[in-house]
Structure 1
């Protein structure tokens, strides 16, 4: 591949077809060049073994590790399973490339696997496989709007003592005696506009009461897509989808207690949960005296644990989190110690960092268990007998990447904090069923995974289970991404990212830069673990970045302010500020890299992303045109009012404010200065492709030049993870070669020489 500099007035040829072919086939050519690179394991129910997938020459294999004799064995007969699954799916499968990454074991010894959107059950005796029945549960769009065109799962709920069962009939609860089938109790107030949800029924432990949600349906908004080129030919097809958007009326769930013996309904007032975005599933206290649920207020600024007395219906505020910005509900875990509501392990960012607290369930007082400038990520296990908590966290270990996940143990009184993981890497721990042992799988982008079996009591090593071998990959010329750190806009906070160089990198040249962007607040996105294609989220992203780089670019990915797993102040940058996407921090990171490396050309920076990343990519051209010169935006949200209420109302707030206009690529389309390739799949069922058309309309009305591709039959992954993947990747490569390198691309419509 010849990479040259643009000569004034001359047409310069860019990468040839062979170079493109090398980049487009990078994944296929290199994904099988590692050995014994393991995925996270799953324990057997008896705790005597665990199984996992690992790479092997030219494919993958599933193995079981026996804890007693410390020996590996095949998890099943791969050849027979390939034939059985092939017969069930109507395809021919390779035994060393089975199309799933994990499996679960049933009580009869069969295994269940998921392929695409379907589940299959396979006998490990006969090796016959059959498609598992689909879930009977009613679809709930983004957890806030039930699809009432689909019947709810009305499977009878049996009481713990086995005497009764509860179902719904004509929108009401019906309780029957299992002894003679007689109706013990029936509600009379259910209706289509205020119905009892059978999927929410929960019996009290003493079998005397039922807790259930009564539901007032929200607004059944529908959006439409036209399948213009059906695969079977013929006329276009109209596809209708139930799709709530920002500001829509959502389902209103209201908890109800049905006292079977007293034949009465106990219904609390909603003074403590008046304007719910979402209520959690109902949970009974162990003594059947009360039930509890969490309330996430619309607008996401209040999050509350509510307890309802089962006899009186009195609702009580147990613990409440409030914020001037957001309370990030997805990681607000809690644990009711003993199930009686007296001690509750609670997570909170009230001191500026996400930490563990012990709440007194009677008066709501909190006692902090962990503290410091680091983040608790999740509660992994609560050992009530030993009064200890096992949790995952990041940022506590100084001198290493603050995003590396580690595992710890702490006592209920906050004493005795100790680490279960110590290596300078990202750790993924799986506890044995009896919680006495754990498997620790750890890696870095520059270090293949190591799997160890250890004891919980003291963290001592029992045995090393796996150590990945990447010698063949290294021999093929692979180089790990460089981890690079620069200061944020405040001059203090470290911003982390990676730099990927082309395979024939020459430090004497200057390279244009392409940034891969996803600036959402629900996670961080720069890869932290080893990247073995498909073994974990982000693996293929790294391959895609390397494929771009090999055509003569520096490719980077950066976690700017507003992403997750740092302080609350760091996270809050995204609030009512989605259009920014942490870009001021990322630009400073780029400039720091250019100050260190002469080959890093910040006068030619492009950016690409999909979904929110697509919104971010176009937003970079609209809001920061002095820095970004070209963007490819896939399936972008672009105007958050037209998207689902979940994360849009979370980050931009509700009720609606001018923050929506400030972040809208539709409203701000007239500001376009750089070069844009706008891509959308016509059947995107995640983000309505109409919003990309609205961007195009606004650009046309503003007289702006841009390129646009509508992908027939393309979904939300069009251009990123689904077919026609190579075609769209090639178009993206072409776009950046032309716009950032100033070079011509192959004449693809002509036959190759």
Structure 2
């Protein structure tokens, strides 16, 4: 670089730095009066209403004709109106689906129900061809001729139903378990469980043959499956354990004068689980043998995958989430071998594992994080040998479908494009051999894709938090764009005066990992003022949570309009990055990525000098409720005020399946050490707790026990218990109280006295 260029660059940098210092020296904290706050509430309410009356159309859902030649879709319009558009794929013609005014008028005549042309309502709508429609309104079917808009009752109400948002192969939840079928594959026999034992019944003669004799009401057989030839039954001898109950009290049931007690089953960490020991019953010899494997004591028995009539495989996740296996069983001997045996020192996130069995080739498609990133593997079902299909420092997010004939996997992933946000979802296809990778969605942005019924075409909608969505029709084989269906813009939103969210990236605690988040600012921000920062936190490790699609209106923006800079961040310990990034949460939920969040906000405040890094608030719901309280307990030097709604404040009180996944099993001392309740005496700053008395997700006593501990520690705090409310942030009332709380404690201002306003009659 030339010396003159260096001097020029230094001069510009010095000027910018001096300007920033000068600006910082002139800035004073935003200190609104009571009148200012009333006006801010009014402005925020008007802006929020205006923004929510402008549609984003982030999600265009096509309704396809059966032959895939055309589709129609509903497009949202301003002021809660909508219209319908018809697209003929072959000709490329895109037009209004029908004359909405004529259809509304004629439909109103035949149905007797008021219809608005701008808000036509149908339970069902289907184009039989370009000029004829079947629709269901007010539970009645009609046939509409779009040439003259004649409407008659529909004689044939059969319509083609296709959900483009549903993947071809739906990923099962491992909590679903196997499905017991009583009747044999040939229909000649059936199984009945009586007195805890298996009874074989000949359907024709009704002759009965006991298959087991050692079952009982206390330890019965159950969960059985047939082999394909119906000559073998695999059943499980169970050791049942009672699921303990949780309770809550409905205090304000209309028409009563007493509270109503509600109870339900709710397994918590450390509780005993029913176990299932597999047995094989040979119906030809009427003999049985115990499968040489330990009992399944976590999840219900999983479905069996028969390679032939002699061998089957099934999946087994060990309690504690540190081992996952696909086990093959020899039905002649009861011996087993592990086709897949994955172990880890931290956790295996079973809900993210995808398995697809290919019996014709004795192969298994499987996802694993064994190399540090979630990727696809092809497993030899005989030897267990694994071949990596996808590789790189990016994440396979989900599987859409598998083409067995072409030996291709269709999947969505994030992080492959190094120049963009690593959380943006893109869609791909790739061969089983790891070759021929095709990006179906190359445009920068977060993508949402759906296919036509024959998968010849797909609809791709993509956007960013501050870039409006674009929707395109593309050809699947070539990924070529046929036409642009919709193209949103930001101008209409910007006319309201709103500031669209800004994306900010800073380094995490290791000094090298990028931490991503968004920033929402007041639309009327004064350049000479500084504003408190409020973090919207949810550090649950099951996913990532910072929004990636177009977001002009949100609670964060509504809160920002009152005089705050509101942020949301995905710190370490959340999902959809590397295994190492995710592993931070292991036995460590109290960490909540706080080190990364604090560094991020400090870096953000350097870029945005209007951010007051000395006034930090935080709010969250559920796991976010735990996190926001934890912010004041474990990082009081940074966070000053917190609102925590329906928090799981102790991971021993919350649901078993979620907490053991991250905190592990058995329940150890680390559960106690990281509990908000155990650490309640450490509280500094201002805390506001919100809980719904009818919460069936996180037991309400989680919040009440925290309140009890705070009282015993002689700590000041606010608490709001809402009668009849379930798992929630408090609803409209709770959100208003949350805003008031932050105004009082971060802006040191008075909030509107709602009690001084007379109710309208």
Q: What is the TM-score with the length of structure 2 in the denominator?
A: 0.83
Alpha-carbon distance between aligned partners in 2 of 1:163 and 1:79, rounded to the nearest angstrom: 56
What does 1:492-641 align with in structure 2 at a 5 Å threshold?
492-531=512-551, 543-641=554-652
Partner of 2:477: 457
1:193 to 218, 221, 230: 218
1:59 to 76, 81, 100: 81
Structure 1 pair 479–53 and aligned structure 2 pair: CA distance change class (3 A): farther
Alpha-carbon distance between aligned partners in 2 of 1:672 and 1:75, rounded to the nearest angstrom: 62
2:407 to 387, 397, 421: 387
> Alpha-carbon deviation of 1:691?
1.2
Alpha-carbon distance between aligned partners in 1 of 2:291 and 2:756, rounded to the nearest angstrom: 72
Partner of 2:684: 673
Alpha-carbon distance between aligned partners in 2 of 1:102 and 1:504, rounded to the nearest angstrom: 45
Partner of 1:412: 432
Structure 1 pair 253–676 and aligned structure 2 pair: CA distance change class (3 A): same
> Alpha-carbon deviation of 1:392?
1.1
Partner of 2:720: 709
Q: Deviations over 1:639-684 (max 9, x none)?
A: 0001111121111111122221222000000000110001110000
What does 1:133-172 align with in structure 2 at a 5 Å threshold?
157-166=182-191, 168=193, 171-172=196-197
> Alpha-carbon deviation of 1:166?
4.8
What does 1:291-330 align with in structure 2 at a 5 Å threshold?
291-330=312-351
Alpha-carbon distance between aligned partners in 2 of 1:523 and 1:102, rounded to the nearest angstrom: 34
Alpha-carbon distance between aligned partners in 2 of 1:121 and 1:48, rounded to the nearest angstrom: 28
Q: Deviations over 1:449-468 (max 9, x none)?
A: 22223233222223333333
> Alpha-carbon deviation of 1:144?
6.5
> Alpha-carbon deviation of 1:179?
5.2
Structure 1 pair 201–26 and aligned structure 2 pair: CA distance change class (3 A): farther
Q: Secondary structure at the match of 1:619?
A: helix
Partner of 2:303: 282
Q: Secondary structure at the match of 1:510?
A: strand
Alpha-carbon distance between aligned partners in 2 of 1:260 and 1:374, rounded to the nearest angstrom: 49
Alpha-carbon distance between aligned partners in 1 of 2:666 and 2:647, rounded to the nearest angstrom: 23
Partner of 1:662: 673
Partner of 2:393: 373
Alpha-carbon distance between aligned partners in 2 of 1:353 and 1:586, rounded to the nearest angstrom: 23
1:426 to 428, 436, 446: 446
8 Å CA contact 1:37–1:55 kept in 2: the answer is no
How many residue pairs are counted as aligned between the two chains?
A: 697
Q: Deviations over 1:594-627 (max 9, x none)?
A: 1112101110000000000000000000000000
Structure 1 pair 475–492 and aligned structure 2 pair: CA distance change class (3 A): same
Q: Secondary structure at the match of 1:697?
A: helix
Structure 1 pair 663–476 and aligned structure 2 pair: CA distance change class (3 A): same
Is 1:234 equivalent to 2:257 in the alignment? yes
Partner of 1:134: none
> Alpha-carbon deviation of 1:371?
1.4
Is 1:334 equivalent to 2:355 in the alignment? yes
Moved more, 207-216 or 440-449: 207-216
8 Å CA contact 1:184–1:260 kept in 2: the answer is no
> Alpha-carbon deviation of 1:356?
1.4
8 Å CA contact 2:179–2:303 kept in 1: the answer is no
Structure 1 pair 20–432 and aligned structure 2 pair: CA distance change class (3 A): same
Moved more, 483-492 or 70-79: 70-79
Alpha-carbon distance between aligned partners in 2 of 1:733 and 1:33, rounded to the nearest angstrom: 24
> Alpha-carbon deviation of 1:416?
1.9
8 Å CA contact 1:296–1:302 kept in 2: the answer is yes
Moved more, 91-100 or 262-271: 91-100
Structure 1 pair 370–262 and aligned structure 2 pair: CA distance change class (3 A): same
Structure 1 pair 43–380 and aligned structure 2 pair: CA distance change class (3 A): farther
Q: Deviations over 1:159-196 (max 9, x none)?
A: 44444555555555555555566657765554443344
Moved more, 248-257 or 14-23: 14-23
Alpha-carbon distance between aligned partners in 2 of 1:93 and 1:300, rounded to the nearest angstrom: 55
> Alpha-carbon deviation of 1:157?
4.7
Alpha-carbon distance between aligned partners in 1 of 2:57 and 2:642, rounded to the nearest angstrom: 38
Q: Secondary structure at the match of 1:253?
A: strand
Alpha-carbon distance between aligned partners in 1 of 2:679 and 2:470, rounded to the nearest angstrom: 48
Partner of 1:745: 751
8 Å CA contact 1:628–1:674 kept in 2: the answer is yes
> Alpha-carbon deviation of 1:74?
5.8
Partner of 2:662: 651
Q: Secondary structure at the match of 1:749?
A: helix
Structure 1 pair 123–294 and aligned structure 2 pair: CA distance change class (3 A): farther
Q: Which has the larger radius of gyration?
A: 2
> Alpha-carbon deviation of 1:360?
1.8
Partner of 2:227: 204
8 Å CA contact 1:34–1:472 kept in 2: the answer is no
> Alpha-carbon deviation of 1:527?
0.1
Partner of 2:163: none
8 Å CA contact 1:34–1:471 kept in 2: the answer is no
Alpha-carbon distance between aligned partners in 1 of 2:154 and 2:199, rounded to the nearest angstrom: 42
Partner of 1:136: none
> Alpha-carbon deviation of 1:219?
2.8
Is 1:243 equivalent to 2:273 in the alignment? no
Alpha-carbon distance between aligned partners in 2 of 1:233 and 1:171, rounded to the nearest angstrom: 44
Is 1:476 equivalent to 2:496 in the alignment? yes
Q: Secondary structure at the match of 1:613?
A: helix
Alpha-carbon distance between aligned partners in 2 of 1:334 and 1:696, rounded to the nearest angstrom: 44
Alpha-carbon distance between aligned partners in 2 of 1:315 and 1:414, rounded to the nearest angstrom: 30
8 Å CA contact 1:615–1:665 kept in 2: the answer is yes
Moved more, 358-367 or 93-102: 93-102
Q: Secondary structure at the match of 2:627?
A: helix
Alpha-carbon distance between aligned partners in 2 of 1:691 and 1:348, rounded to the nearest angstrom: 34
Q: Deviations over 1:467-488 (max 9, x none)?
A: 3355433332333200000000
Structure 1 pair 50–225 and aligned structure 2 pair: CA distance change class (3 A): farther
> Alpha-carbon deviation of 1:102?
11
Alpha-carbon distance between aligned partners in 2 of 1:205 and 1:715, rounded to the nearest angstrom: 46
Q: Deviations over 1:127-157 (max 9, x none)?
A: 999xxxxxxxxxxxx97699xxxxx998x65
> Alpha-carbon deviation of 1:263?
3.7
Q: Secondary structure at the match of 2:320?
A: coil
Alpha-carbon distance between aligned partners in 1 of 2:65 and 2:234, rounded to the nearest angstrom: 33
> Alpha-carbon deviation of 1:510?
0.2
Partner of 1:348: 368
2:240 to 205, 211, 217: 217
8 Å CA contact 2:531–2:612 kept in 1: the answer is yes
